[in-house]
Structure 1
Amino acid sequence: MQSLDAALTMQRPAEVYFGAGTLENLAVWVRQKGFKRPFVVADPVNAARLAVLGLDSPAVFGEVVPEPDTHNLSKAVKAAGDADLIIGFGGGSAMDLAKLVAVLAGTNLALSDISGPNRAPARKVGLVQIPTTAGTGSEVGTRALVTDPDTLAKVASESLNMLADLAIIDPVLTLSVPPAVTAATGVDAMAHCVEAFTSKRSHPLIDSYALQGIQLVGKYLKRAVDDGSDVEARAGLALAAFYGGVCLGPVNTTSGHAVAYPLGTRHKLPHGIANALIFPHTLAANAEAEPAKTAAICTALGVPAEGKDAVRSAAIQFCQSLGLDMRLSAHGVPQDDLPRMAEDAHKIRRLLDWNPVDLSEQDILQIYRDAF
Structure 2
Amino acid sequence: MDRPITLHQPPRLEIGTGAARTLGTWAEGAARPLVIASGPTQQYVERLGLSGDVRVIDNVPPEPDIPAFEAVLEVARAHGPDLVVGLGGGSVLDVAKLTAALWDSPQALAEVAGPNRVSGRRTRLAQVATTAGTGSEAGIRALLTDPETKSKVAVESPYLLADIAILDPELTYSVPPAVTAATGIDAMAHCVEAFTNIRAHDLIDAYARLGISLVGRFLRRAVENGADSEARAGMMLASYYGGLCLGPVNTAAGHALAYPLGTRLSLPHGLANAIIFPHVLAFNQPVRPEKTAEVSAALGLAGAGSPEGLLMAAHGFCADLGVEMRLSAHGAEAPALEGWAGEAHAIRRLMDNNPRDMSVEDIHDIYRAAL
For the aligned pair, the TM-score class normalised by the smaller chain equals over 0.9
1:28: which partner in 2?
25
Q: Distance in 2 between matches of 1:69 and 1:150?
A: 10
**Unpaired stretches in structure 1, ≥5 consecutive residues:** none
1:143: which partner in 2?
141
Aligned-partner residue type, residue 334 of structure 2: Q
Match of 1:39 among 16, 34, 38: 34
Q: Distance in 1 between matches of 2:333 and 2:84?
A: 38
Alpha-carbon distance, 1:145 to partner = 0.5
1:244: which partner in 2?
242
RMSD: 1.0
Alpha-carbon distance, 1:286 to partner = 0.2
| 1:6 is aligned to 2:21 | no
Paired residues, number: 367
TM-score (norm 1): 0.97
Per-residue deviation, residues 264-308 of structure 1 (Å, max 9, x unmatched): 111110001000000000001100010000110000000141111
1:363: which partner in 2?
362
- More deviation, 50-59/353-362: 50-59
Alpha-carbon distance, 1:49 to partner = 3.5
2:54: which partner in 1?
58
Alpha-carbon distance, 1:112 to partner = 0.4
Q: Distance in 2 between matches of 1:334 and 1:146?
A: 25
Does the residue aligned with 1:222 lie in a helix, a strand or coil?
Answer: helix
Q: Distance in 1 between matches of 2:192 and 2:179?
A: 20
Q: Distance in 2 between matches of 1:342 and 1:72?
A: 27
> 1:149-160 alignment to 2 at 5 Å?
149-160=147-158
Q: Distance in 1 between matches of 2:33 and 2:339?
A: 42
Per-residue deviation, residues 113-166 of structure 1 (Å, max 9, x unmatched): 100011012124100001100000000000000011110110110011110000
Q: Which runs of 4+ in 1 moved over 4 A?
A: none
- More deviation, 266-275/42-51: 42-51
Question: Is residue 86–residue 98 contact of structure 1 (8 Å, CA) maintained in 2?
Answer: yes
Identity %: 53
Question: Is residue 141–residue 249 contact of structure 1 (8 Å, CA) maintained in 2?
Answer: yes
Does the residue aligned with 2:285 lie in a helix, a strand or coil?
Answer: coil
Alpha-carbon distance, 1:334 to partner = 2.4
Per-residue deviation, residues 89-110 of structure 1 (Å, max 9, x unmatched): 1000000001110111023422
- More deviation, 47-56/20-29: 47-56
1:69: which partner in 2?
65
Question: Is residue 42–residue 88 contact of structure 1 (8 Å, CA) maintained in 2?
Answer: yes
Per-residue deviation, residues 47-71 of structure 1 (Å, max 9, x unmatched): 2442222224620221211111100
Q: Distance in 2 between matches of 1:333 and 1:48?
A: 34
| 1:16 is aligned to 2:19 | no
Per-residue deviation, residues 203-229 of structure 1 (Å, max 9, x unmatched): 011101101101110110001101111
Alpha-carbon distance, 1:177 to partner = 0.6
| 1:235 is aligned to 2:233 | yes
Q: Distance in 2 between matches of 1:291 and 1:62?
A: 45
> 1:148-297 alignment to 2 at 5 Å?
148-297=146-295
**Unpaired stretches in structure 2, ≥5 consecutive residues:** none
Alpha-carbon distance, 1:43 to partner = 1.1
Does the residue aligned with 1:88 lie in a helix, a strand or coil?
Answer: strand
> 1:275-354 alignment to 2 at 5 Å?
275-304=273-302, 305-354=304-353
Does the residue aligned with 2:273 lie in a helix, a strand or coil?
Answer: helix
Aligned-partner residue type, residue 60 of structure 1: V
Does the residue aligned with 2:40 lie in a helix, a strand or coil?
Answer: helix
Does the residue aligned with 2:255 lie in a helix, a strand or coil?
Answer: helix
Per-residue deviation, residues 10-43 of structure 1 (Å, max 9, x unmatched): 1111111111111111100110xx3211101111
Alpha-carbon distance, 1:5 to partner = 2.4
Question: Is residue 84–residue 124 contact of structure 1 (8 Å, CA) maintained in 2?
Answer: no
Per-residue deviation, residues 345-370 of structure 1 (Å, max 9, x unmatched): 01000000010011001100000000
Question: Is residue 22–residue 48 contact of structure 2 (8 Å, CA) maintained in 1?
Answer: no
Q: Distance in 2 between matches of 1:36 and 1:13?
A: 23
Alpha-carbon distance, 1:86 to partner = 0.7
- More deviation, 194-203/337-346: 337-346
Does the residue aligned with 1:201 lie in a helix, a strand or coil?
Answer: coil
Q: Distance in 1 between matches of 2:131 and 2:10?
A: 18
Alpha-carbon distance, 1:340 to partner = 1.2
Alpha-carbon distance, 1:254 to partner = 0.2
Q: Distance in 2 between matches of 1:149 and 1:291?
A: 39
Q: Distance in 2 between matches of 1:102 and 1:133?
A: 21
Per-residue deviation, residues 211-252 of structure 1 (Å, max 9, x unmatched): 110111011000110111100000110010010001000000
TM-score (norm 2): 0.97
Aligned-partner residue type, residue 244 of structure 2: V
Q: Distance in 1 between matches of 2:358 and 2:172?
A: 36
Alpha-carbon distance, 1:44 to partner = 1.4
